[in-house]
Structure 1
């Protein structure tokens, strides 16, 4: 895969693999309120089908990354996708909340191979500003998943049952599997570390101060988005009294904001230093949190618009943020990618758990999370630049 034209052909596959988590979480969102009624369970219990997926997904990321550095990307990726397909079919025949949660844990264990290894493959193939542009392209394509996933889930609920949502996810896994089988190995230099010591890569990463600091700061910036994912269906359907289909359109509107942010990043980064995009993005998260606290109670759009501002801000800042984090390492890219996404999803699971509690006013909780996270990340980012940690290096 040395020809540049051939390299670019892998971008849609990388985007599909990276979108596995969005498809796996967002497609079931319209069904969550009705599942709570069917199984007579509170939202905090039913939302475990989201939270358990996130936590398990993040945990297994820690294994796929370093193993792929030792044995290549293809074999662990194929094994993970096969497990994902099997678990999706098991989810489709689940008949209780406990059973579905259990199978979702298995599904997450398989899906964990996709996002971490697709990011590692990106580092294998591309470098410098080109990698940053490819990450932006992937983010744009990937944003289609949260746009269409809840809409597809909503329409499935009209004509079929929620079980078919997981059948659809299984078919998506089959597409990804076929693409990976047709793709050559991207890792050029295999790690010589014995399997018994392969997890030691994380010890080296934990000693990399600049990498760990950037991972923690950038992960906090995503907390408002993951919190919104967990609370959105209850907020729109039960709070504002909207139908599952109307909810899916408003959720798609928010996903459109994410794609618009990624597209803006792609265009603006060609003329502007990426550090300014990150500053603007973190400031936008802070401003969006303030607007939710002030206007979010007035109606669906009074909440949706400032939430879209937050999501747009995440979209414009995430590609350079991911690129900057990966620039802090020169080897063990698989482990570095895994630890990065593990932190994203672990903190995201925490935000989901907080929002799922029995709050009197879920909108204010979401606004407070965005306000707090935006303020923390913006302040930290300004401090990092003064200490020269936040300088994007070109290769």
Structure 2
């Protein structure tokens, strides 16, 4: 597919847009235990700044996707990122748990434009194996976000206050907005569906059996990672007694595993059948979960290494699985991308809520979530392959 000169170097921008959720959630993670103390709230309440963000983000994805299919990617992106910048500044001046949660909902409404439309732009510009390679490149670059976001958050907490975390997120939004303003429209053929009927594209997608099956399978595979995100700070800081900065390094180690998995996927793309990478990734989730249940309570590294196996496995399987999901549709790429990420985040919020409850043994709960999800998707994936249910095009 021929690409104009202005789009040759668009991959870093796509990666930044895709990384908005990671920056928006992971930077605040080191502050969650201290916010619970400052505001005298339980972890389940304070974690609503994560859960409310995820739920709102997922909900608004459903609007940005079809609207972008009708009016193009650029205008919804500009509007969404502008709202994100404003909401980030409001979060920075919040003075209670309730106001921070409310402003995080607004922040999520703006951020929702980024990830879904960046994936739709990827489908606009690239195709086939090239798209799969680009998705792997983006996964590698965006893995830097969860690696450095909590470290940056920890450094901010060491020298400033948690309010500055949201000022930093606002500046990230400004950089993204500048990139979008310099980028031409990528959608070449807009949908002719009237706005009053634009949301009906979801109805057509829900009737696409192959698409729905693949979305559900791939979304369940990510649930252990989202559960870890919500429970990690309490687990490392309160459970293992680490400082906020040391926690951020352990979280970064887990993000490094995600990057390693994405890099492995990139190296194997073109040499190995994508289905083998997906199978290996799902099996790795089961292995890591079994190790967490066996040795995870012995210390921070005894937990971190099995969790890294799970995250590496997600990293190696996510790019080909995202590609495989998009291969099930020929039109309405924006809606398909939005519904895919909506399902990711909605199920992820369920995992976050579950692990945030007042468990006496949070490690065992997280291990049980990972084991059940890993086993479920591995079995489902083997059945799908055996019955030739999904379409795979090169």
Q: State the TM bucket, normalised to the shorter chain.
A: over 0.9
1:336 is matched with which residue? 336
Matched, 1:49 2:52: no
1:381–1:390 contact (8 Å) kept in structure 2: no
String of CA shifts for 1:43-74, please: whole Å, max 9, x gaps: 00000000000000000000000000000000
Matches of 1:176 and 1:305 in 2, distance apart? Answer: 34
1:296–1:303 contact (8 Å) kept in structure 2: yes
Matches of 1:207 and 1:29 in 2, distance apart? Answer: 38
2:257–2:312 contact (8 Å) kept in structure 1: yes
Matched, 1:293 2:293: yes
Matched, 1:20 2:24: no
2:34 is matched with which residue? 34
Matched, 1:115 2:132: no
2:129–2:270 contact (8 Å) kept in structure 1: no
CA-CA distance at 1:386 after TM superposition? 1.1
String of CA shifts for 1:238-267, please: whole Å, max 9, x gaps: 000000000000000000000000000000
Question: What SS class does the counterpart of residue 271 from structure 2 fall into?
Answer: coil
Q: 1:304 to 1:4 in 2, by over 3 A?
A: farther
The total of aligned residue pairs comes to: 394
Matches of 2:207 and 2:231 in 1, distance apart? Answer: 36
2:63 is matched with which residue? 63
Matches of 2:152 and 2:346 in 1, distance apart? Answer: 27
1:136 is matched with which residue? 136
Q: Compute the RMSD of aligned alpha carbons.
A: 1.0
1:305-320 correspondence to structure 2 within 5 Å:
305-320=305-320
Matches of 1:124 and 1:15 in 2, distance apart? Answer: 15
Q: 1:389 to 1:6 in 2, by over 3 A?
A: farther
2:166 is matched with which residue? 166
2:84–2:106 contact (8 Å) kept in structure 1: yes
Question: What SS class does the counterpart of residue 116 from structure 1 fall into?
Answer: helix
Query: What is the TM-score of this pair, normalised by structure 2?
Result: 0.99
Unaligned 5+ segments in structure 1 are none
1:243 is matched with which residue? 243
1:259–1:315 contact (8 Å) kept in structure 2: yes
Matches of 1:82 and 1:312 in 2, distance apart? Answer: 34
Q: 1:5 to 1:285 in 2, by over 3 A?
A: farther
Question: What SS class does the counterpart of residue 222 from structure 1 fall into?
Answer: helix
1:253-292 correspondence to structure 2 within 5 Å:
253-292=253-292
1:140–1:262 contact (8 Å) kept in structure 2: yes
Matches of 1:330 and 1:390 in 2, distance apart? Answer: 14
Unaligned 5+ segments in structure 2 are none
1:18–1:114 contact (8 Å) kept in structure 2: yes
String of CA shifts for 1:181-216, please: whole Å, max 9, x gaps: 000000000000000000000000000000000000
2:82–2:177 contact (8 Å) kept in structure 1: yes
1:353 is matched with which residue? 353
1:389 is matched with which residue? 389
2:328–2:390 contact (8 Å) kept in structure 1: no
Question: What SS class does the counterpart of residue 314 from structure 1 fall into?
Answer: helix
1:275–1:392 contact (8 Å) kept in structure 2: no
String of CA shifts for 1:261-299, please: whole Å, max 9, x gaps: 000000012211010000000000011100000000000
String of CA shifts for 1:309-361, please: whole Å, max 9, x gaps: 00000000000000000000000000000000000000000000000000010
Matches of 2:212 and 2:37 in 1, distance apart? Answer: 42
1:87–1:103 contact (8 Å) kept in structure 2: yes
Query: What is the TM-score of this pair, normalised by structure 1?
Result: 0.99
CA-CA distance at 1:2 after TM superposition? 4.3
Q: 1:290 to 1:158 in 2, by over 3 A?
A: same
2:304 is matched with which residue? 304
Matches of 1:370 and 1:94 in 2, distance apart? Answer: 35
Matches of 1:8 and 1:380 in 2, distance apart? Answer: 38
Matches of 1:358 and 1:156 in 2, distance apart? Answer: 28
